[in-house]
Structure 1
Amino acid sequence: MSKEKRTIEKLLEEALVPEQEKPYEIPENWMWTKLEDVCSRVTDGTHKTPRYIDSGIRFISIANIKPFKPIDWNSYTKFISIEEHRELIKRAKPERDDVLFPRIGTLGYAKRIDFDEEVSIFVGLGLAKPIKEIMNPKYLELYMNTLFVKNYSISKANGTGRLTLPLKESKAMPVALPPFSEQKRIAEKVERLLSKIEEAKQLIEGAKETFELRRAAILDKAFRGGLSKGLHVKEKNENNEDEIEINHNTEEFYELPYNWRWVSLESVCETITDGDHQAPPKSEEGIPFLVISNINKGLLDFQKTRFVPKEYYNKLHAKRKPKVGDVLYSVTGSYGIPVLVDTDKEFCFQRHIAILKPSEDIRSKYLYYILKSRLVYNQATNYATGTAQLTVPLSGLRKIKIPLPSLNEQNYIVGKIERMFNKQAYAEKSCIISNENIEVIKQSILSKAFKGELETNNPSEENAIELLKEVLQEQIK
Structure 2
Amino acid sequence: MILQLAVQGKLVPQDENDESASVLLGRIKAEREKFVAAGLAKKQKDLLPVNDAPHTIPRNWVWVRLGEVQDFVNGFAFKSQEYTDQGIGIVRIGDIQNGEIDTSGMKYVPKDYLDALDVRLRVVKGDLVIAMSGATTGKLGFNQSDEMYLLNQRVEKIILLLIDPQFACYYLKTKIQENLRISAGSAIPNLSTEQINNIAFPLPPPRRTKAHRHQSRPTHDPMRPTRSQAQPDPTTQ
Q: Same fold (TM over 0.5)?
A: yes
| Aligned CA-pair RMSD | 2.6
Q: From 387, 408, 411, give the equivalent of 2:207.
A: 408
CA offset digits 1:362-409 (Å, max 9, x no partner): 12222222223x234324554x58822111012222222211102332
**Cα drift, residue 338 of structure 1:** 1.3
Q: From 190, 211, 223, give the equivalent of 2:7.
A: 223
Which structure 2 residues correspond to residues 8-407 of structure 1 after superposition, within 5 A? 217-228=1-12, 230-237=13-20, 238-241=23-26, 245-248=49-52, 253-269=54-70, 271-279=71-79, 281-333=82-134, 334-359=136-161, 361-372=162-173, 374-379=174-179, 381-382=181-182, 387-407=186-206
Q: Sort the Cα spacing of 1:351 and 1:288 in 2 relative to 1 into closer, same or farther, 3 A.
A: same
Distance in 2 (alpha carbons) for counterparts of 1:259 and 1:285: 50
CA contact (8 A) 1:324 1:344 kept: yes
**Cα drift, residue 286 of structure 1:** 0.7
**Cα drift, residue 329 of structure 1:** 1.1
The residue type paired with residue 14 of structure 2 is L
Distance in 2 (alpha carbons) for counterparts of 1:394 and 1:385: 17
* Larger helix percent: 1
CA contact (8 A) 1:273 1:394 kept: no
CA contact (8 A) 2:176 2:196 kept: no
The residue type paired with residue 276 of structure 1 is F
Q: Sort the Cα spacing of 1:279 and 1:407 in 2 relative to 1 into closer, same or farther, 3 A.
A: farther
The residue type paired with residue 257 of structure 1 is P
> Secondary structure of the residue that 1:310 maps to in structure 2?
coil
Distance in 1 (alpha carbons) for counterparts of 2:48 and 2:204: 14
Q: Sort the Cα spacing of 1:267 and 1:319 in 2 relative to 1 into closer, same or farther, 3 A.
A: farther
The residue type paired with residue 236 of structure 1 is E
Distance in 2 (alpha carbons) for counterparts of 1:325 and 1:277: 23
> Secondary structure of the residue that 2:108 maps to in structure 1?
strand
Distance in 1 (alpha carbons) for counterparts of 2:95 and 2:127: 16
Distance in 1 (alpha carbons) for counterparts of 2:180 and 2:58: 24
**Cα drift, residue 240 of structure 1:** 4.1
Which structure 2 residues correspond to residues 437-448 of structure 1 after superposition, within 5 A? none
Aligned identity (percent) is 21
Question: Mind listing any 5+ residue stretches in structure 1 that lack a counterpart?
Answer: 1-216, 412-477
The residue type paired with residue 399 of structure 1 is N
